[in-house]
Amino acid sequence: MVLSLPITSLFAQNRQLIPIEVQNAYKNETRSMTGQPGPKYWENHANYKIKASLLADESRLKGSESVTYFNNSPDTLKTIVIRLYQDIYKKGGTRASDISPKDVTTGVHIFSLKIDGKDVKMTTGQMSYFFGINHVVKLPKPLVPGDSLTMDASWEFHIPDISHNRMGEFGKGRFLIAYWYPQIAVFDDISGWDMVNFNGITEFYNDFNNYDVTLTTPAGYAVWTTGHLNNPKKIYAKPVLKRLKEVAKSDNIISVINQKDWNENKVLKTNRPNTWKYSARYVSDFSFAAALKYNWDASSVLVDTATGRRVRVDAIYPDSSRSFQNGARYARMSIKFMSFQMPGYPYPFEHMTSFSNGTLGGGMETPMMANDGDPTDTVNAAGLIFHEISHSYFPFFMGTNEQKYAWMDEGWATYFSGVFEDHFFPGNHYAQRFAGIFSRTSGHQFELPPIILSNSFDNWRHYSIQAYTRPYLAYKYLENVMGEKAFKHALLSYIKIWNGKHPIPFDFFNVFQNDYGKDIMWFIKPWFFGPGYADQALVKVTQSNQIIVSNVGGLPMPVHLKVEFTDGSVQNIVEPVSIWENNMNRAMVQADKNKKIKSITLGDATIPDVDKSNNHMKM
Ligand SMILES: [Zn+2]
């Protein structure tokens, strides 16, 4: 079969770069080479009803759930894949990093698992087997297209309290629970069932589902979650309810709960355990924080001037926090910046809660919830809060597959954070830091182009270069190629076309190519597919002051030249990335012809370069 290619198809000359699964998706019309979803695009969905109890003193979570899973695919499903994330703590589990022996468990204990009312055995055999945290179950009756099944499960697990793999108990009375309930994996048009194991490095790939979650917590705990609390009046004391009402319309930061309230017993309505009822619609996960004596600062931000929609932002933190007293302010700045500047699309969820676990740096995102550390300084605290909130766009609004293409969300979060930090904290030298990292790593054996599947990495450092550093630089230089306006336009087109779906790298490339309308393959190929590393060199200078620069490493980057003349004057020349468009090997830059050159320096702190010994010339 011959693929019909649009005129601007990025891969018309590079068909061999398209994996067979993606070529098949074009044939099956689930995707298209224009970057639009194909006419037969589909994705599966589920409704989760979960009831869980936090047994805080025992560091355990116990729950039951009833799931309805809809098969919108054209395939008849003979198996389903159930993720038991907390099996990562199981004795003998596959983990990218060591965990404390105290957190080694028998994994998720399943009291019962039923599919369409029939018991499923949790042992390896003809009807089921395990692949890492994935439990593959043969269905009692195949699930035909358009039909649904039910899964009922009851379960419990130990909440890790020493080795926190993105969630856990962070000291007494501090819980952030994510990666928790037995979850049906994604079945998609590219790979069928997602069988990627969770080894603690790569993160999310989930369908967009509906959640109704009931959480029971011991006396004295406050809870924050993805989605919407349906029974606040049963839970909170009057002053808290009153403040929450004010928050909904206020640009000011309001202390909703503080230490005085806790000490005066004015937070919760009763001194008994509470049952919190939540719902969340069309989101790719549900997580929650439960804590004793946490402060809660909140505000709301107008995110959409057309509709007047406001979003609640929360910072929740222990009173001993180093930096979260300003957390709500940073979160406000973040949501506003994202909604109006970069990416410039209204924040797409009803609230955003940044939880400080009180440990060091680092963070982890889930929809509407971030599990943040507690950095010591302003810029790192603001940067961390911004970074995790920015994941609301990628991968939570855009359902990208972080397990395979982490650069499609971590790369954007790193890029957005760069724009944010450059705007608010220009002295922090964001680009310089990443250029420095790439100068030390680019071209090494472990530094692999983004198109290599992220789950191939079992080393955090190698993964971080591939998921954060190289894609950050690639997006930044793609913006340089396209110009700020066209780049942002393409980014917004991509968001508008693919939100609520599962875009893959080729959808991103094709949307950008088509939105821009000019060839960008010369840039995309080296940066995303490789080979190529960061190394520019000075070659020679002609009689007429033409400076010849070589692209030794093959990655197209801007060319910065500082030319000193014998009369003491200096000429700084900056050539855009597109200087390499027609000749990827050599570029010619004209310095002032009427002067005599004394020395030339190539490069800049913002441009990575693995070999700076060839960047200087003295006449
Ligand atoms: Zn991130």
- pLDDT tens digits, one per residue of 322-370: 999 999 999 999 999 999 999 999 999 999 999 999 887 788 899 999 9
> Can you read off the two tokens belonging to residue 570?
């200096």
pLDDT at 3: 43
Render pLDDT for 257-275 as a digit per residue (tens, 0 to 9). Answer: 999 999 999 999 999 999 9
Q: Cα–Cα distance between 494 and 189 in angstroms, integer?
A: 19
Which residues of 536-615 form beta strands (DSSP E)?
Answer: 536-541, 546-551, 559-565, 570-575, 586-590, 597-602
Q: Is 308 exposed, middle or buried, given 0-12, 13-18 or 19+ CB atoms closer than 10 A?
A: exposed
Q: What is the sign, positive or negative, of the torsion defined by CA atoms of 356, 401, 283, 53?
A: negative
Give the distance (Å) from ligand 1 centre to CA of residue 434: 15
Give the distance (Å) from ligand 1 centre to CA of residue 176: 17
- pLDDT of 502 above 80: yes
**How many angstroms separate the Cα of 215 from the Cα of each of 53, 81, 218, 616?**
6, 25, 10, 64
Q: Cα–Cα distance between 65 and 74 in angstroms, integer?
A: 27
552, 523, 555, 527: which is closest to 538 by C-alpha?
A: 552
Q: Cα–Cα distance between 591 and 570 in angstroms, integer?
A: 10
Give the distance (Å) from ligand 1 centre to CA of residue 372: 11
Give the distance (Å) from ligand 1 centre to CA of residue 384: 9
Q: Report helix angle 410-424 to 430-441, nearest 10.
A: 140
Neighbours of 590 (CB within 10 A): 11
598, 614, 590, 595: which is closest to 542 by C-alpha?
A: 590
pLDDT at 424: 94
pLDDT at 458: 86
Give the distance (Å) from ligand 1 centre to CA of residue 532: 25
Letter for the amino acid at 402? E
Q: What are phi and psi of 322, to 5 degrees?
A: -80, -35
Residue 11 — pLDDT band, cuts 50, 70, 90? confident
Element (H, E) at 331: helix 327-340
197, 174, 175, 176: which is closest to 185 by C-alpha?
A: 197
Render pLDDT for 560-578 as a digit per residue (tens, 0 to 9). Answer: 999 999 999 999 999 999 9
Give the distance (Å) from ligand 1 centre to CA of residue 203: 9
Contacts of residue 428, defined as CB under 8 A and 6 or more positions apart, other chains included, come to: 379, 383, 421
Bond prior to 576 in cis (omega within 30° of 0): no
Give the distance (Å) from ligand 1 centre to CA of residue 453: 17
Give the distance (Å) from ligand 1 centre to CA of residue 77: 33
- pLDDT of 4 above 50: no
Query: Which tops the pLDDT comparison, 227 or 129?
Result: 227
Residue 5 — pLDDT band, cuts 50, 70, 90? very low
Neighbours of 306 (CB within 10 A): 6
Element (H, E) at 460: helix 460-464
Give the distance (Å) from ligand 1 centre to CA of residue 82: 25
Give the distance (Å) from ligand 1 centre to CA of residue 368: 14
Give the distance (Å) from ligand 1 centre to CA of residue 413: 6
pLDDT at 8: 52
Query: Which tops the pLDDT comparison, 408 or 13?
Result: 408
Give the distance (Å) from ligand 1 centre to CA of residue 386: 10
Helices (H) and strands (E) in the chain, counts: 13, 31
| φ/ψ bin of 75: left (φ > 0), alpha (ψ from -120 to 50), beta (otherwise) | beta
Vertex 110: Cα angle to 106 and 114 (nearest 5): 155
450 half-sphere exposure, CB direction, 13 A CA radius: 27
Q: Cα–Cα distance between 494 and 503 in angstroms, integer?
A: 9
- Mean pLDDT for the chain? 94
Render pLDDT for 426-446 as a digit per residue (tens, 0 to 9). Answer: 888 999 999 999 999 999 999
Q: Quick one: what percent of the chain has pLDDT higher than 70?
A: 99
> Can you read off the two tokens belonging to residue 225?
């979650």
Give the distance (Å) from ligand 1 centre to CA of residue 313: 19
For 364, the 3-state DSSP assignment is strand
Give the distance (Å) from ligand 1 centre to CA of residue 364: 7
- pLDDT of 103 above 80: yes
Render pLDDT for 276-309 as a digit per residue (tens, 0 to 9). Answer: 999 999 999 999 999 999 999 999 999 999 999 9
Vertex 415: Cα angle to 519 and 558 (nearest 5): 50
pLDDT at 35: 92
